[in-house]
Structure 1
Amino acid sequence: MTQPAPHPERNARWRMIPALVLLAVAVAGAVLLRDELGFDALAAHRETLLAYRDAHYALAVVVFVAAYTGIVAFSLPGATVATLTGGFLFGLFPGVLFNLAGATVGAVLLFLAVKAGFGARLAARIEAEGGKVARLREALARNEWEVLFLMRVTPVVPFFMANLIPALLNISLVKFAVTTAVGIVPGALVLTSVGSGLGEVFETGGRPDLSVFLEPWVAGPIVGLVALGVMPIVVRALRRGGL
């Protein structure tokens, strides 16, 4: 006797569970963990963290990357402080590598959960209904690599939104993962470098100066990367216009 085929709507509801769990944890974390994942918490526990790193370096790396991954995957407050912590504990190198690993894996996990729950269904609905949103999705499809890269390398789009939007638009995992891993490198390098100098900041009772992003030696290369990302889009637009 043949088994009845699984009900599509029931399967769709099951696929939404991981995304809903992430949403619930994100809301709870925003309320309960904001003070625990801030800079003041890092300052208060810095000696304990350093002692643990010195006693169990390999395990400290694993715990740090896992914690960073969780912060990003659950969209918890504290991603910037986590990046600073990576620099404080492990230096610019290999700290930046640990930061990139945690941020990329966390972003991919969030992307997969949201895409499985909503991405395919939303993309199908957009295509079926047409209209402005469908035209926007079509325009994005022509420039996916460049747009995804620009979302990462510029501070205009918040990090968690840059994880959600591609998932909701049903972007491919490969394009999302590659542009994420590459696009967050400039910001990760700067923040990890700032974090590597937190020892002196703690000694003076100050706070990290993130205005470094406005310095010409930082802003200049980022603007150059943005220009490189925009150029192919402009060229394709001009060709379609027959110019």
Structure 2
Amino acid sequence: MTPLPSALLATVVEPLPEEAVDAAGQVASQAAAATGGDLNILQLILHASLPVQAVMLLLVFASIASWIIIFRKKRVLDRAEREADQFEERFWSGAELSKLYSGTTERHRDIAGLEAIFEAGFREFGRQRQRRGIDSKTQLEGAQRGMRVAASRELDGLEHNLEFLANVGSISPYIGLFGTVWGIMISFHGLANMKEATIATVAPGISEALVATAMGLFAAIPAVWAYNRFATKVERIGGRYDAFADEFSSILERQSQD
């Protein structure tokens, strides 16, 4: 029996074929790139196809417009709540209604919110009282009608551009998905002329396409969050307007009976 060390020394080690060496080198380089390479989003965007780039550009514009609306809408709603608090404090401080009304009209400034609702209701109430043969019920109905119109106009201003946020939040993921599907379709179509297809051949195109989906989510998530928050805030402010109109109607009803 030949000893084991002698058998190992007698074994002839044959070199690997060149194809195997090349394949091993490619695998090693791909693994090194996957572990140590940095993901360059800008390069993925620049190397994407024109339809995918158009989708990305559209999503960037939608995201920028959404953020502009978000900051402006927050400022508008915060001001509406602040003005409502200030006017309610003046209204319930015991001041005469005629003095409050003259204060809203004599300064020649734009009024909004509860102050505009009060001004519309009291103006219509005074106009109805100056007419002859008008009973108290008709006077009150005229004031309520004026307050409803003013409240509706104020709420329309607060809800302005909320529809755009809702559209961005609901449509952006589908626009990004369209760009991804288009990019993947182009990547696989390019494999038709290749004899050997590997994951390294398809991966760059798929990565470029997936950026469109990521950008769609990046545009949609803030828009959905802001729309839900602002819609709730507008609804809460609208409730304050309705409650004030009901309370002011009760005060006017007592005055009409005097």
Q: Per the shorter chain, which TM-score range?
A: 0.3 to 0.5
TM-score, length-normalised on structure 2?
0.33
Larger Rg over CA atoms: 2
Structure with more contact order per residue of length (Cα contacts < 8 Å, sep ≥ 6)? 2
